[in-house]
Structure 1
Amino acid sequence: MSAPLITGSIGKPINRVDGVDKVTGKAKYAAEFNVPDLTYGVVVSSAIAKGKIKSFDASDALGLDGVLQVFTHENRPKLAWFDISYKDQDAPPGAPFRPLHNATIKYSGQPIALVVAETFELARYAATLIRVEYEEATHETDLEANLHKARKPKHGVADLLKPPPPKPRGDFDKVYNEDPNKMAGRYVHAAEHHNPMELFATTVSYDKSGKLTIYDKTQGVTNSILYVSQVFNIPFKDVRVLSPYMGGGFGSGLRPQYQLFMAVMAARELKRSVRVSLTRQQMFTFGHRPATVQNVALGALADGTMNALYHDAYGETSQFEDYTEVVVNWGGQLYPTENVKMDYKLVPLDVYSPLDMRAPGGVTGMHALEVAMDELAYDLGMDPLQLRLKNYTDMDHNEKRPYSSKELRECFRQGAERFGWNSRNPEPRSMKKDHNLIGWGMATGIWDANQMPARAEAVLMVNGKLRVSSATADIGTGTYTIMTQIAADTLGMPVSDVLFKLGDSDMPIAPISGGSWTAATVGSAVKAACEEVGKSLLKLAKKMPDSPFKGVKWEDVTFADKHLRLKNDPLVAISLQTLVDQNGGKAIREITGALPNAFKQKNYTRSTHSAVFVEVMVDEELGTVKVNRVVTAVASGRIINPKTARSQILGGMVWGISKALEEESVMDHNLGRFMNHSLAEYHVAVNADIHDLDVIFVEEHDDIVNPLGVKGLGEIGIVGLPAAIANAVFHATGRRVRDLPITLDKLL
C-alpha cells in the first residue's frame, strides 16, 4: 500500500519561517547594518510652526574635532527635484515636502539641518550647539476653529484607491424631516501617531564608484528607490535598497521619510557611508492620522427600515498636499438606504501632511456611523444587532453592484452566539458587578479587498529546492511565511524545501505593503511564477523517453509530494528532482507578474467584513474603562495561515482598544506642536489593558477577488472595535460619548 500524498500547506497554522531569526537577534533592521567607514547624522528640527529661518550659526558645532559637516538649505547640493516634479507611490495631490529646500518653515519640528560626525554621540552633541534665528509668522493648527475654511479636496490618481463620496441619491432632507425616528450626532477624532517600536533610520553604504547600497526602514523598497532615483537623478543600476525586516510600520513607512533623503544627500556629498536615525520625538514630525470632525444623521421607519442617511466629514491636511481618506462612503456600502447625502472636505493647516494609518478613514468613519446606528437602535427601542440585520444587503448601493462575496450575516450569527449576545439586558446601567457597571456593545466592520500588480521570481534549483522572491515587505504580518506556503502548495513541496526572499529592490517589482493587499497581490504573483516553473517542468517531462505525460495539457496535471502527477491518476508521477536533472544541470527560473482581473472584477465590489462584540467594565466612581472581552468574527475569504491570520486580527483588536480609550496626540495650538511626543505621554495599550480576545474566521469562498481567493486582514481587525467599545460604554453608563478617545474625564 502506497504512502498518502503530502497535503498542501495552505490553511495550516505553521510557525513563522522568520521567527527564529527574530527571537535570536539574527534579523537585522535598518540601523543595525554595520558598514565600513560609517559616519552618523543627527537631524535638527525647527522650533516654530510657521515662518522662515533668518540665520544659522553652526560655528561651534563645526569647530568640534570629528564633526564633518552641517547641512542646511544654504549649502545643500543642487537636486533634480528642484527642476522636475516627483511623486512617490503614496503621495497625495500637491507638492511633496522637500527637506532643506529653502528658509521657509511649514510646520513645527520640520527638519532644518543635518549634523554629520564620526560618532553618533558627537553628532548628537553638536546638534545642540546649532543656533537658529527665526522670523515667526502666525500659524493655524486647530481643526475645529478653522472648519469655515474647509474646501473640496484636489483630485488625482489617488481617487482610484480613495474615491470621493458618491453623488447624493433620493431626497435626504425631505425624507429625514418626515421620518418618525431619527438621530443626529457630531463625532470628533483626535490626531494619532503610529509609534511603531522600531525608530526610523537609513544606513547608506557608499561605494568608491559612487554606487549606493541603502538599508531603509520602509514598507516598500520599490518606493524608496523610485524616490532616491528621482530626487538625486541616480540611475537605478547605481542604487540598491534593502529592508529585509521592519519593526512595525502601520502605514508610517509607506512614504519615504526624510531620514532617507538626509542620509543619501550626506553620503553623496561626503563620499562616506552615513546613518541617520530619528528620535521618538522626531517620529511625531512626518505624518499622523488626521484629526477629523464628522456629522451623521439617520432616519428610519417604525419597523427599523432605514431610509435616510447623511454623513459628512472634515479632515485636516497640510498647506502643501491634499491628504484624503475614505471616511463617509461606508454607510452607502453597508446599508440599502435610498435617500443618501455625503460630503467630505479638507481644512489646510500648518501641520505636516497626514499619513495613512491602519484602516485610514475606515476606522474613523465606521466609528461615527456605527455609533450612530447604536443611537438609532435605542431611539427605536430595537436590538442593535436586529437593526443591522433588518437593513442587511448583499449589494453595494454606492456602485449598484453585488459583492463578490459577503458572509457578514454569518459573522453576526457566529459572533453573537460565541459572545452570548442574546443574554443582554438592553437597558443602560442595568448590568452591574460590585462598583463596576457592565456594558455590552457591538458594531460592524468593512474594508476593501484590493489586489495590485506585482511580479515574482521562482527558481527550482539543481538540488530540488525552491527559491522565490519579490520586492515586497514583511511589516510583521507574516508575509515571509504565507508566501512560502503559497509557493510550496503550488509545486507540491514541503515548506522546508522553499525559501522566500523579500525586501530588496533588485528583486521583481512589488507595490508598497499596505491597504491589506499584500497577500492577494504578491501571493498571486508568487503563485503565477511557480506555475510557470511547473509548466517548464511539464515540458521537460514530455521530452523524456516513453513519458506518460506526452500530449498531456497543463490543466491535466497537479503537483504533490514533490512530484508532477496526473490529476486523474496521481500514481503516474515523476519527481521534481528527476525533472530538474533533465535540464542540463541548470536551475529552472521563471519571472512573471500577476494583474487584477479587471474584466472579472468590474461588476463586483470586493470587501472584507466583520462583526464585533464587546464587554466593558466601567468603574462607577473613577470612570475608568476596562475591556473585559471581545469577540470578532471575520469573513475574509481563504485563510492562508490561521496562526498568522489570527495574530493580525488580534493586533487590530488591541489597537482598536488603544484607539478607543487611550491614543491622542495633544497639540498645543499656541505653539503648533504635538506635546506628548514620547511613549511616556502618548498612551498606548499595554499588557494590563488586554484581556479576553476571541477571533472567529467565518468560512467564505470567493473565486472573483483574486486567483487565491484571499482577502487582506491587516485593517479589518481594528475597523469595528472603537464603535463597539463606545456602544458598550453607553450601555454600561447611559452616557453617550461621541468623541475619541473615551477618557475618564468624559465619563465622570
Structure 2
Amino acid sequence: MKYIGEPITRVDGHEKVTGQAKYAAEFNVPDLAYGVVVSSTITKGRIIRLDTSRALAVNGVIAVFTHENRPKTAWFDVSYKDQDAPPGSPFRPLYDNEIKYNGQPVALVVAETFELARYAAMLVDVAYEATPCDTDLLKHLDAVRDPNPGVMNIFKPLPPKPRGDADQAFAEAPVQQSAQYIHGMQHHNPMEMFASTVEYGKNGFLTIYDKTQGVTNSLLYVTQAFNIPFNQVRVVSPYVGGAFGSGLRPQYQLFLAVMAARDLKRSVRVSLTRQQMWSFGHRPATVQNVRLGARPDGTLTSITHEAMAATSQFEDYMETVVNWTGKLYPSENATLRYKIKSLDLYTPLDMRAPGGVTGLHAIESAVDELAYKLGMDPLDFRLKNYTERDWTEKDKPFSSKELRECFRQGAERFGWATRNPEPRSMQRGHNLIGWGMATGIWDAAQVPARAEATLTVNGKLRVRSATADIGTGTYTIMTQIAADTLGMPIDDVVFRLGDTTMPPAPIQGGSWTASTVGSAVKSACDALAKTLFRMAKRLPKSPFVGVGFDDVQFIDGAIQLRQNPSKRVSLLEVVSRNRGRAVTETATSIPNLIKHNSHSRNAHAAAFVEVQVDEEFGTVHVTRAVTAVAAGRILNPRTARSQIIGGMVWGISHALQEESVMDHRYGRFMNHDLAEYHIPVCADIHDLDVVFVEENDTIVNPLGVKGVGEIGLVAMPAAIANAIFHATGKRIYDLPIQLDKVM
C-alpha cells in the first residue's frame, strides 16, 4: 500500500488526547526548583535600586538573581547568532541596569515551589529612573531607514532594484490607484506558554526540556551563551503546544533557567505567564504605501509598493513585505522599498506568514480597488496581469505555477460567476452581503537536514531527526514518507523528533519542514534500502544474485523482483542474518542548487470570501470561504487541509479581530491577556472549504512538496477587506477592520 497522498490520521494523536504527550513544563525531574520572572514596569530608563531582602526572607526561597549578582557567562555578543536572529546585538537578560523595553526581565526568584516563587516575586522592590520612551511608528514615517543587511538571511531578501521609472509611468497612467495601509502589532498566543525545565545531572550535564521550534537552535544558544561543550547539554522537545514563530528564537526563560540551574547545581524550571508572553516578540507595526498605474484595458504600467516597519533599538528585524508584489505582477516600471524605524520595543519576531500576510493585504486590496476603477472583474484583472516569470529573481521562470487553476477551481467551487459586481447590490435580510477574492503566494524553500533510519532486529523501522512538530503533522507525514520508501506497513514504522541526540535539523518554520526533513527522511530510507538489498544479495540461495537495485521493489515489508514478485525476501529475514544487530543508515539532504538557482519556487493560492455586514452595528461575519491551493505534492490531504483551514481561521482573526493595543505614553501593551486580545471562537467560524490543485514540481525537492503552513493565511485578510467593500461600498485600509471602522 502507498501511504504518501493518503489522509492518514495523526500518528501522535493518541498520545495527545490521552495526556501522555509531555510538554516543556510537564517533565518532572528530581530536586526541582521553580523560577518566576520579575518584569520591568517602565519602558526606558535604568534601575536605581533593587531590594530583594523581603523575597529572600520568605521560607523556601532559594535565590533571587538580578543584574547585580548574576553568574558570569560567555555573553557572545558578536560571534553568536541564533538561527533566526536579525542583525544587531541579541537581548541579554539581567545584563545590566538598563531598561530597553516594557516587561523586560529584571529579576528571577527561585523557590522550592512555584507558588512560593510567585509570591516572593511580588516582594522584590525595584525603583527606576524612567526616561521618555518612543514606541509609535506613525510619528516617524519621515525618519525611516534602510535595514542593516548584516549576514542577510536568504529567506528574507531585500527588495530588488527598481525597474524603469515607476513615478513617471504612474503620472502618465490613464487610470491610477494610490492608498496607504496600516497594520498594528499582533502577538503570538499559542496554548502552551513558554517554559524551560533544566535537569542538572552528574558532572553538571544539562538535560533541557524547552518549548522551541528547534532543539538544535536552543542547543547552539545555550552552549555558546554559557560556553559549555556540546557534549554536556541535551535539549528535548517532543511536543509543542503551538508556536507560530514565537519559538523560532530561544526566549529569555531558557537563559534564566540554565543560569539558575548551573549556579545552584540543581534542577530548575522557569515558566512564563500569559502576560509575560507579551514581553518578547510580535508581528511589527507596518505602514505601506501602494501606487498602481494602468491602461484602460487593465495592463499594469506602474507599481510602487513601499513598507515601513518598526524594530527594536538593538536589532534590525526585517520581513519580506513588498517582494511578493513583484512575484505576482509584472510591470516594466516598478519600485519596491522596505524601511525600518528603531523604537523602544522588544525585537519583533516571525509570526505565521511573516511579511507575506502584511504585504499581500496591501497589494491585493489595491489591485481590487484598481479593478473597480477600470470596471473589470477583480479575477479578470489578475488574469490580465498574470506572469509566468519572477522579475524579482532575475526574471527566472517558476518551478511550477498552477495559480490559473487556483483561480478557476476556487471560483467554480465558490460560485464567483454569479456575483453581482455592483457594491451594496447583494443583501440577505437586513444584512449586506459582499464577495471578495485575493491571491496568495509563499516561498517553497528547502534547506539542509539530516535523518537516520534503522531496521530493528524485530523488523520494525525507526526513523529519527531533530526537527519539531508544532501541530503541523510532522510526526505523521514523516512516518508516511518512511513507510512508502521502505514499502513497510505504517504500523511498523515509528518516527521520532525533538532531541539533540538525533541527527540535526533546522528550526521548523517558513513552511519548509515537509520539503527539508521529508527529503532527509527519504534519503535515509533510500540509503537503508540499498544496504538491505546488498545484504539480501549475500543470503544463501538469494533470488537477487546478478540483479540490480532498480530491478527490485520494497513492498509489504519485503524485497521482491519487479518482474517476478514471487521471488522475494522479507526484511525481517535480512536483518535476522545480521548477527543480532539492527541496520542503520544516516543521510543528509541538500537542496539541488543548480535547479534552485535557475527557478523561482513558490506555492500559490486564491481565496474567495463571503461576508455578512450589519451596517447599524458594524459587525462583520465571514459566512463562507474557499481557498484553492497549489502546493506541489500533497503528502497527507487530512493534515494539509487542517493547516489551510487553520490559516484561514487566522486570516479571519487577522482581518477582523487581532490587535495588540499599546499606550504610547507608557510604551506598554494594554490588552496583554486572552480576555482583551481578541481571537476567533467557534461561533466566529462558519463554512470553510479547501481545494488542492494538482501540481507536479520536479525541481523544488525530491518529494515535489512545497509546504502549506503559511499559504492558507496570506490571501485571506485582503479577500475579507475586498468583500467588505463589495458589501458596503466603503474601503477600509487599516487592520483589523473592527465595527467602529465599518459603521
Place the TM-score, normalised by the shorter chain, in its bin: over 0.9
Does residue 668 of structure 1 match 2:653?
Answer: no
The correspondence for 2:96, drawn from 92, 102, 107, is: 102
| Aligned equivalents of 1:555, 1:239: Cα separation in 2 | 43
User: Which residue does the alignment assign to 1:48?
Assistant: 42
Distance (whole Å) between structure 1 residues aligned to residue 62 and residue 577 of structure 2: 59
Are 1:615 and 2:646 an aligned pair?
A: no
Tell me the distance in 1 between the aligned counterparts of 2:738 and 2:618: 8
1:390 alignment partner in structure 2: 384
The reply to whether residue 524 of structure 1 matches residue 519 of structure 2 is yes
| Cα displacement string for residues 601-653 of structure 1 (whole angstroms, at most 9, x for unaligned residues) | 21101100000000000002101000000000000011111100000000000
Runs (5+) with no aligned partner, structure 1: 1-6
Q: Counterpart in 2 of 1:170?
A: 164
Aligned partner letter, 1:721: M
AA of the residue aligned to 2:196: T
- Counterpart of 1:276 (choices 249, 270, 273) is 270
| Per-residue deviation, 1:549 | 1.7
Tell me if 1:187 matches 2:186.
no
The residue number in structure 2 matching 1:503 is 498
Q: 1:159 to 1:274 in 2, by over 3 A?
A: closer
Q: 1:713 aligns with which of 698, 704, 708?
A: 708
Corresponding residue for 1:330? Answer: 324
Q: Secondary structure at the match of 1:80?
A: coil
Aligned match for 1:451, one of 446, 453, 463: 446
Q: Does 1:630 align with 2:633?
A: no
**Which string of whole-angstrom CA distances, capped at 9 and with x for unpartnered residues, describes residues 350-373 of structure 1?**
000000000000000000000000
Q: Who is 1:73 aligned against?
A: 67
Q: How many angstroms does 1:555 deviate by?
A: 2.8
Task: Quote the residue 1:231 is aligned against.
Answer: 225
Match of 1:301 among 295, 299, 302: 295
Aligned mate of 1:286, from 269, 280, 284: 280
Structure 2 stretches lacking a partner, 5+ long? none
Q: Deviations over 1:247-296 (max 9, x none)?
A: 00000000000000010000011111111000000000110000000000
Q: Which residue of 2 aligns with 1:353?
A: 347
Matches within 5 A, 1:432-443: 432-443=427-438
My pick for the range that moved more, 391-400 or 249-258, is: 391-400
Name 2:585's counterpart in structure 1: 590
CA deviation profile, 1:416-449 (whole Å, cap 9, x unmatched): 0000000100110000111100000000000000
- Residue by residue over 1:212-265, the C-alpha shift from the partner in whole angstroms, topping out at 9 and shown as x without a partner, is 111000000000010000011111111110000000000000000000001000
Aligned AA for 1:316?
A
State whether residues 632 and 705 of structure 2, in contact with CA within 8 Å, keep that contact through their aligned partners in structure 1: yes
Q: Name which of 237, 245, 251 aligns with 2:245.
A: 251
Which amino acid in the other structure matches residue 160 of structure 1?
I
**Aligned partners of 2:48 and 2:128 also within 8 Å:** yes
Alignment correspondent of 1:404: 399
Q: 2:478 aligns with which of 483, 506, 517?
A: 483
Instruction: Give the match for residue 729 of structure 1.
Output: 724
Aligned residues: 742
What letter corresponds to residue 527 of structure 1 in structure 2?
A: K
Pick from 189, 193, 200: which aligns with 2:194?
A: 200
Name the CA shift for 1:495/1:106 in 2 (closer, same or farther; >3 Å).
same
* CA distance in structure 1 between the partners assigned to 2:105 and 2:657 by the alignment: 29
Contact 1:16–1:480 (CA under 8 A) maintained in structure 2:
yes
Aligned to 1:535, what secondary structure does the other structure show? helix
Q: What is the letter of the counterpart of residue 157 of structure 1?
A: V
Deviations 1:694-748 (A, max 9, x none): 0000000011100000111000010000000000000000010011000000011
The separation in 2 between residues aligned to 1:519 and 1:570, in whole angstroms, is: 32
Q: 1:346, 1:108 → 2: CA distance? A: 20
Name the amino acid aligned to 2:661.
Answer: V
Query: Which residue of 2 is the match for residue 379 of structure 1?
Result: 373
Q: 1:650-669 counterparts in 2 under 5 A?
A: 650-669=645-664
SS at match of 1:55: strand
Give the root-mean-square deviation of aligned CA atoms.
0.9
TM-score, with structure 2 as normaliser: 0.99
Write out per-residue CA displacement over residues 371-405 of structure 1, whole angstroms, 9 at most, x where no aligned residue.
00000000100000000011111111212011000
Q: In the alignment, does 2:413 pair up with 1:418?
A: yes
- Kindly provide the amino acid, as one letter, of the partner of residue 498 in structure 1: V
Contact 2:451 2:464 in 1 (8 A): yes
Q: Are the equivalent residues in 1 in contact too, given 2:176–2:292 (CA < 8 A)?
A: yes
Residue 20 of structure 2, aligned match among 26, 29, 38? 26
1:688 is the counterpart of 2:683? yes
Question: For the Cα contact (< 8 Å) 2:396–2:598, is it kept in 1?
Answer: yes
Cα deviation 1:37-95 (Å, max 9, x = unaligned) = 11100000001000111110111000111111110000001111157631100000000
> What is the identity, as a one-letter code, of the residue corresponding to 2:54?
D
Question: 1:662-688: per-residue Cα shift (whole Å, max 9, x none)?
Answer: 000001001101110000000001101
Question: 2:487 pairs with 486, 489, 492, which one?
Answer: 492
Q: Which whole-Å CA distance do the structure 2 matches of 1:56 and 1:655 have between them?
A: 42
Once the two structures are TM-superposed, the CA of residue 567 in structure 1 deviates from its matched residue by 3.0
Task: Give the letter for the 2:41 counterpart.
Answer: A
Aligned pairs for 1:634-649 (under 5 A) are: 634-649=629-644
* Corresponding residue to 1:58 among 36, 52, 61: 52
- Alignment partner for residue 552 of structure 1, among 547, 550, 564? 547
* 8 Å CA contact retained: 2:36, 2:117: yes
> Using a 3 Å threshold, how does the CA distance of structure 1 residues 727 and 76 change in structure 2: closer, same or farther?
same
Query: Does residue 1:536 correspond to 2:531, yes or no?
Result: yes
Structure 1 position 38 matched with structure 2 position 38: no
Relative distance call for 1:308 and 1:83 in structure 2 (3 A) is closer
Q: Which residue of 1 aligns with 2:139?
A: 145
Q: Shift in Å at residue 556 of structure 1?
A: 2.8
Give the residue type in structure 2 aligned to 1:21. Answer: E
Aligned to 1:316: 310
Contact 1:435 1:621 in 2 (8 A): no
Per-residue displacement from partner, 1:109-151 (whole Å, max 9, x unpaired)? Answer: 0001000000111100101111111111111000000122211
For the residue of structure 2 that corresponds to 1:601, the secondary structure is helix
Report if the CA contact (8 A) 2:188-2:246 is conserved. yes
Percent identical residues: 69
| Letter matched to residue 465 of structure 1 | K
CA apart distance, 1:552: 2.5
Cα deviation, residue 551, structure 1: 3.0
1:548 deviation in Å?
2.8
Structure 2 distance, partners of 1:83, 1:449, is: 32
Q: Distance in 2 between matches of 1:570 and 1:606?
A: 39
- Measure the CA separation in 1 of the matches of 2:316 and 2:595: 33
* Superposed displacement of residue 545, structure 1: 3.0
Q: Which amino acid aligns with 1:387?
A: F
CA apart distance, 1:332? 0.8
- 1:216 alignment partner AA: D
**Residues 88-167 of structure 1: pairs in structure 2 closer than 5 A:** 88-167=82-161
**Aligned counterparts of 1:567 and 1:491: Cα–Cα separation in 2:** 15
Q: Shift of residue 543 of structure 1? A: 1.2
Shifted more, 346-355 versus 596-605: the winner is 596-605
